[in-house]
Structure 1
Amino acid sequence: MSKTPVGEIRPSQLLWTYGPGALIDLPNLSVVTMGIDRWERDRCQPIQEARLLANVRSVLGPQVESLRMPPLGDRDVVDPFSPAALIGVPVKPFPRWLRCVKCGLLSPFDAGLFKLKENRYRPELTRFVHEGCRGSNNDQKARDADAVPARFLMACRAGHLDDFSWHWFVHGGPSNCRGTLRFFESGASLQTENLWVKCDACGASKNMAQAFGQAGRDNLPACRGRHPHIDRFDDDCPEDPRAILLGATNGWFPVTLSVLAIPQTGSPLAQLVGDGWTFFEDVSSADEVGFVVKTLKKTAQLPGIEQFTSEQIWAAIEAHRNGGADIGPSDLKEPEWQVLTADDPPTDYPHFMSKKVGVPKGFETAITRVLLLERLREVNALLGFTRVESPDEGSGDDAAPRAPLGRSAPDWAPATQVHGEGIFIRFDANALKAWADEDAVKEVDARLRVGHRGWRQKRNLDPREGYPGARYVMLHTLAHMLVRELALECGYNAASIRERIYAEVEGGKDQAGFLIYTAAADSDGTLGGLVELGKPENLGRLLRQALDRAHVCASDPLCSEHDPSKDQSLHGAACHACSFVSETSCERGNRHLDRALVVPTLENPNAAFFRGS
């Protein structure tokens, strides 16, 4: 496969938007990110996070050895033909079918009718052209015309992605006709009814409206089980393919795991040795420690280890060897909850610096703890992806199949880490229990539960699973209100502020709180603007402002009167004007929200947790 640079994306986008199997819609090309078995593993820097690695192994298998960042190229390379300029993630053109913008010729790029024109000095200008195109009337002067990707594809719920079956679609099934196809438009608008495909040889034509809905199921062939990112076809796919558009949101949904790096040992040094055990497990003497530490310092793979002497590190290595068991898979949030709610939370660990502050005045009956996290690290790992249905639309046997990252079982998983700061707020569990037992709250909870069941039934999912409960909905909604308020003053944009809700009550747990944090890929993290707003005098003011704004929504009375049990939705009194936040901020995709459980609304004044606010 030739190596031609075609563009740039950020490393974090390879986990959330453009991972293996996803389409990258560049200015002149559309490409698919290849599977991780085609990536240059030696250029992928390891990330140390034992707790996340253990949970990744429980999903992908014990053969997974490490978590690694995507290969990073150097943007300042002078010679575009040098080996350094070719460092990056491999991609290939997809879909194969291209359309000439002048004459409408529709053909695969490897059929010889289109030519790739690369530009190593301006990779974003690399494109396909239709050489000598004379336009639609064939009497104009011949000149090169751009060839752009055909905008229609086929995908299925099993994670397969394929070129649109143009010949099958135009001819109404299998046909011996091998004439060239043309794509053209009719009418003033670009609705699918006005987009047509025609065969030059036999004259057969069909408009693209017949590729969608029930007509699409009748006009499209069976799924071929294609995984373009690993060049493989699965046998006997039982799912029906559906037409999707290039760049559609339902073309690729990541399946990820995320953890906060928290202390799990008795000292900062022991924590560092445990986090970087892959570097120390083969060290056999104190003399070798210095060489390992020097390497880690140059590569910045274990920040903080250089603060300790070789003798101290060797003692910690021996203690770790004699200390026993590796970290096993566990609930990702429960260990975090235990650290965040400890009597004396850690204050000086490399990736976890916390500071206890007072509870805002006027909220003493509801809030029991505010913890400022002056430094934190979040690590995310990619397990696979789904198409058509997002991974949180099902569970167990109902879940959409997770498509693979490579041709074989992976021995590593793509991951990213970000550093930042946050505010953790713990609520009084007893006050929440008393509130949840009120009749008005039970009535709202029942409506939300009916809406949840209906939503899952429409998707052929088990209606008994997945409902998080009224406590979660209240904490989730309040977190959204506070995120919206913080974004106005903290100095970060709203899309960069995230939430982490702790509301598990099953299995003997009694969690009641949330963490609002912001993080950046830079190793130095963020600037402290969020932590400053977590101090009692600032947090109290922001909470009161958030609650005051939520009483009346700009969309009221429609918003407050929304009943999820009637339209089978996953939210009650919540909308973009009052409670929704950016998709990158919410851990549930703006689902399971209802401000009637937080503050009195026009429709329901009796179910609010903050009734007197």
Structure 2
Amino acid sequence: MSGIPVGQVRPSQLLWTYGPGALVDLPNLSVITMGLDRWDTDRCPPVEEARLLAAVRRILGHQVERLRMPPFLREEGVSPFSAEGRIGVPVRPFPRWLRCVRCGLLAEYDSGLFEIKANPYRPDQTHFVHANCEKGGKSDAVPARFLLACRNGHLDDFPWRWFVHGGPSECKGPLRFFERGASLQTENLWVTCDGCDAARSLVHAFGKEGQDNLPACRGRNPHLDIYDDSCEELARAVLLGATNSWFPITLSVLAIPMEGDQLSQLVADGWKYFEKVKSVEAVEIVVDTLAASGSLPGIDRYDPRDIWKAIEEKRAGKTGTTTVSEGDIKRPEWDVLASPNPPSDWPHFMSEKTEIPSAFAGLIDDVLLLKRLREVNALVGYTRVEAPEEATDPDERPPMADLCRSKPEWVPATEVHGEGIFIRFREDAVRAWESQQVVLDRDRMLLAGHRGWRNARGLSPDQGYPGIRYAMLHTFAHLLVRELALECGYNAASIRERIYASADPASPMAGVLLYTAAADSDGTLGGLVELGKPENLGSLIEQALVRAGVCSSDPLCSEHDPAADRSLHAASCHACAFVAETSCERGNRYLDRALLVGTFDCKDAAFFPLQGERDG
């Protein structure tokens, strides 16, 4: 299938859904995205973000030189036969086994029994056909929707011959797949062998019974065309399109000013444009192009000779760049957001301080409106079967599978622009609240659930707990996101959160950032900033707290004890505090609305006093 287009996905989906090693379930066939070593890097524009690159190197090694955007078509209506029209990422049909929709024949796509029918003008209609179907003519062939996967990140074809014969067999008869019964439950799905009349239901491939009916994992990495030497993990059957077949491991940072002056920051942000510039005259050409396209706002305000000097200083390593730590990602962001004089007009960071809602002056220390911000995300690996844990120790998450055969020299990244609201809480108010006995009791309850949850998964129970401060700030962010979606018409999935929580006496943090950072225009035209003004923000917080006081699932929700069922949330559920998991940085974990408002079960642990007390 070399050079045949088979479909389209958005560039951001190659980070979050269809990255290397992931299956793309298209309307008429299924393909797997190949490793990074097969991508054309000339079609992958670089992304400059020093802090994110440092964090990626900490995980993958210092050989990583670049962050690059996935390739994408810049224009619509390009001829599919031109070089521009063939831009994309390499894929391969997977699983290899196809099923004829008429006669049920089950065979590999390269067995000579199937033909590919390409449609360059409608790639989504590219499909396989069974050339000589015994029921007459040509009929469509679709992927067999069963696979094998293991916790080590391996993926393999379902062992159809092994399964139907109950183990190794010399029989080479044709296999057929058919449904028996009205429903499509696994007990009604059968595979048979025409050579020896063997037959078996797919119900025997799942659960504990599947452990005895499936072979050991072969260590296959189909996107890399290699097999690992050995794999002792249990291979289990999964369905094509199942969400547990590929979980991305990503890192994200906010682009914040890291240079000593604005021109140096502009040159650093636009280094992909200036990297190969050789003279002042070339700088003039680049600046004119950037000004016309709006790709680097503000660069046209500077003299080309000053820009050339900044370029030479960056090449010589003489710029005032702040040293980037490979550890903490959020700390530098907090330092900028909580600064007494935050940057107000930088290329990718424009902020404005605003007044605090008067009703919350004793609890909120600062509100910052971010009129312009940029978020950069990078893909560093993926897992299968089990999602990666939020633990800071990579050794405690499921084994991370590789994106390419050797150590990667670059990783896929995306950048999105948006706006946001940063709310910083008063440190003295937070510390006074944390010291209350009833809050310490809620802390112990959440910690007990945390330990039980990690014990059940074979993880260290004493690591990874973010603390009661984080749970309170996290819940506040969720309540405000839901209120924005309910009252102001925003799509809740288009608003993301970033929680800054640390009880370290030397450098405490207590704040939340709610921001829009999506590829579409939802929430990027100034609407979120407008809602952050005191006359709007105060009423939104008030409504969020009132709405959180009673949940439609009470009293079950308010009485929920995480220690009893080893869960990671207390008084919270889909009806009151959960948001879309794409918006939440913790997967709807470590939430408890009793930390913010009084509930039926707990009325004294609330950080926010009753409305009458605030008014008084």
Q: TM-score, normalised by structure 1?
A: 0.95
Cα deviation per residue 1:176-221 (whole Å; 9 max; x = unaligned)? Answer: 1111111122222222122111111112222112111211111111
Deviates more, 1:115-124 or 1:345-354: 115-124
Q: Compute the displacement of 1:229 (Å).
A: 1.1
Q: Among residues 164, 169, 179, which one is paired with 2:158 in the alignment?
A: 164
Cα deviation per residue 1:267-302 (whole Å; 9 max; x = unaligned)? Answer: 221111233446546656544533554565678664
- Contact 1:423–1:531 at 8 Å: present in 2 too? yes
Q: Compute the displacement of 1:540 (Å).
A: 0.5
**Amino acid corresponding to residue 138 of structure 2 in structure 1:** D
Match of 1:402, SS state, is coil
Q: Give the distance between the partners of 1:90 and 1:197, measured in 2 at CA.
A: 32
Q: Which residue of 2 aligns with 1:419?
A: 417
Q: Which residue of 2 aligns with 1:439?
A: 437
- Contact 1:77–1:84 at 8 Å: present in 2 too? no
Q: Which residue of 1 aligns with 2:614?
A: none
Q: Give the distance between the partners of 1:66 and 1:298, measured in 2 at CA.
A: 27
Q: Give the distance between the partners of 1:375 and 1:409, measured in 2 at CA.
A: 35
The 1:303–1:231 alpha-carbon spacing in structure 2 relative to 1, beyond 3 Å, is farther
Q: Among residues 461, 464, 467, which one is paired with 2:465 in the alignment?
A: 467
Q: Give the distance between the partners of 2:464 and 2:252, measured in 1 at CA.
A: 19
Deviates more, 1:279-288 or 1:507-516: 279-288
- Contact 2:425–2:510 at 8 Å: present in 1 too? yes
Q: Give the distance between the partners of 2:496 and 2:47, measured in 1 at CA.
A: 21
Cα deviation per residue 1:436-464 (whole Å; 9 max; x = unaligned)? Answer: 22221122211211111111111111111
Cα deviation per residue 1:303-336 (whole Å; 9 max; x = unaligned)? Answer: 4333321122123234443247764524110000
Q: Which residue of 1 aligns with 2:453?
A: 455
Q: Compute the displacement of 1:482 (Å).
A: 0.4
Q: Compute the displacement of 1:100 (Å).
A: 1.6
Q: Among residues 117, 125, 148, which one is paired with 1:154 in the alignment?
A: 148
The 1:87–1:285 alpha-carbon spacing in structure 2 relative to 1, beyond 3 Å, is closer
Q: Give the distance between the partners of 1:300 and 1:369, measured in 2 at CA.
A: 32
Q: Among residues 340, 344, 347, which one is paired with 1:347 in the alignment?
A: 344
Q: Which residue of 2 aligns with 1:380?
A: 377
Q: Which residue of 2 aligns with 1:194?
A: 188
Q: Which residue of 2 aligns with 1:226?
A: 220
- Which structure 2 residues correspond to residues 248-327 of structure 1 after superposition, within 5 A? 248-277=242-271, 280=274, 286-293=280-287, 302-320=296-314, 321=316, 322-323=318-319, 327=324
The 1:99–1:299 alpha-carbon spacing in structure 2 relative to 1, beyond 3 Å, is farther
The 1:94–1:502 alpha-carbon spacing in structure 2 relative to 1, beyond 3 Å, is same
Q: Which residue of 1 aligns with 2:49?
A: 49
Percent identity over paired residues: 64
Q: Which residue of 1 aligns with 2:89?
A: 89
Q: Compute the displacement of 1:588 (Å).
A: 0.8
Q: Which residue of 2 aligns with 1:33?
A: 33
**Amino acid corresponding to residue 566 of structure 1 in structure 2:** A
Q: Does 1:496 align with 2:494?
A: yes
Q: Which residue of 2 aligns with 1:212?
A: 206
Q: Which residue of 1 aligns with 2:537?
A: 539
The 1:175–1:107 alpha-carbon spacing in structure 2 relative to 1, beyond 3 Å, is same
Q: Give the distance between the partners of 1:297 and 1:388, measured in 2 at CA.
A: 48
Q: Does 1:329 align with 2:326?
A: yes
Q: Give the distance between the partners of 2:195 and 2:527, measured in 1 at CA.
A: 66
The 1:372–1:324 alpha-carbon spacing in structure 2 relative to 1, beyond 3 Å, is closer
Q: Give the distance between the partners of 1:256 and 1:507, measured in 2 at CA.
A: 30
Match of 1:218, SS state, is helix
- Contact 1:490–1:530 at 8 Å: present in 2 too? no
The 1:522–1:151 alpha-carbon spacing in structure 2 relative to 1, beyond 3 Å, is closer
Q: Give the distance between the partners of 2:346 and 2:100, measured in 1 at CA.
A: 58
Match of 2:352, SS state, is strand
Q: Give the distance between the partners of 2:202 and 2:484, measured in 1 at CA.
A: 46
Q: Which residue of 1 aligns with 2:598?
A: 600
Q: Which residue of 2 aligns with 1:580?
A: 578
Match of 1:574, SS state, is coil
**Amino acid corresponding to residue 554 of structure 1 in structure 2:** S
- Contact 1:98–1:147 at 8 Å: present in 2 too? yes
**Aligned length, in residue pairs:** 607
Match of 1:170, SS state, is helix
Q: Give the distance between the partners of 2:344 and 2:99, measured in 1 at CA.
A: 59
Q: Give the distance between the partners of 1:43 and 1:413, measured in 2 at CA.
A: 14
- Which structure 2 residues correspond to residues 389-408 of structure 1 after superposition, within 5 A? 389-392=386-389, 395-408=393-406
The 1:330–1:283 alpha-carbon spacing in structure 2 relative to 1, beyond 3 Å, is farther
Q: Among residues 516, 519, 527, which one is paired with 2:517 in the alignment?
A: 519
**Amino acid corresponding to residue 485 of structure 1 in structure 2:** E
Q: Give the distance between the partners of 1:274 and 1:469, measured in 2 at CA.
A: 37
Q: Give the distance between the partners of 1:387 and 1:119, measured in 2 at CA.
A: 32
Q: Which residue of 2 aligns with 1:138?
A: none
Deviates more, 1:536-545 or 1:383-392: 383-392
**Amino acid corresponding to residue 82 of structure 1 in structure 2:** S
Q: Give the distance between the partners of 2:496 and 2:475, measured in 1 at CA.
A: 13
Gaps spanning 5+ residues in structure 1: where? Answer: 136-141
Q: Give the distance between the partners of 1:594 and 1:96, measured in 2 at CA.
A: 47
Q: Give the distance between the partners of 1:520 and 1:412, measured in 2 at CA.
A: 23
Deviates more, 1:162-171 or 1:299-308: 299-308
**Amino acid corresponding to residue 98 of structure 2 in structure 1:** L
Q: Compute the displacement of 1:236 (Å).
A: 0.5
**Amino acid corresponding to residue 171 of structure 1 in structure 2:** H
- Contact 1:47–1:301 at 8 Å: present in 2 too? no
Q: Does 1:529 align with 2:527?
A: yes
Q: Give the distance between the partners of 1:123 and 1:155, measured in 2 at CA.
A: 28
Match of 1:480, SS state, is helix
Cα deviation per residue 1:412-436 (whole Å; 9 max; x = unaligned)? Answer: 1110000000000001122112212
Cα deviation per residue 1:528-581 (whole Å; 9 max; x = unaligned)? Answer: 111100000100000011011111111111111211111111111111111111
Q: Which residue of 2 aligns with 1:12?
A: 12
Q: Give the distance between the partners of 2:190 and 2:506, measured in 1 at CA.
A: 60
- Contact 2:296–2:347 at 8 Å: present in 1 too? no
Q: Which residue of 1 aligns with 2:109?
A: 109
- Contact 1:340–1:371 at 8 Å: present in 2 too? yes
Q: Among residues 325, 334, 353, which one is paired with 1:356 in the alignment?
A: 353
Q: Which residue of 1 aligns with 2:69?
A: 69
- Contact 2:46–2:272 at 8 Å: present in 1 too? no
Cα deviation per residue 1:362-417 (whole Å; 9 max; x = unaligned)? Answer: 11111111000000000001111111111126534222111111111121111000
Q: Give the distance between the partners of 2:281 and 2:131, measured in 1 at CA.
A: 66
Match of 1:545, SS state, is helix
Match of 1:121, SS state, is coil
**Amino acid corresponding to residue 21 of structure 2 in structure 1:** G
**Amino acid corresponding to residue 30 of structure 1 in structure 2:** S
**Amino acid corresponding to residue 184 of structure 2 in structure 1:** L
Q: Compute the displacement of 1:88 (Å).
A: 0.8
Q: Give the distance between the partners of 1:87 and 1:507, measured in 2 at CA.
A: 53
The 1:545–1:520 alpha-carbon spacing in structure 2 relative to 1, beyond 3 Å, is same
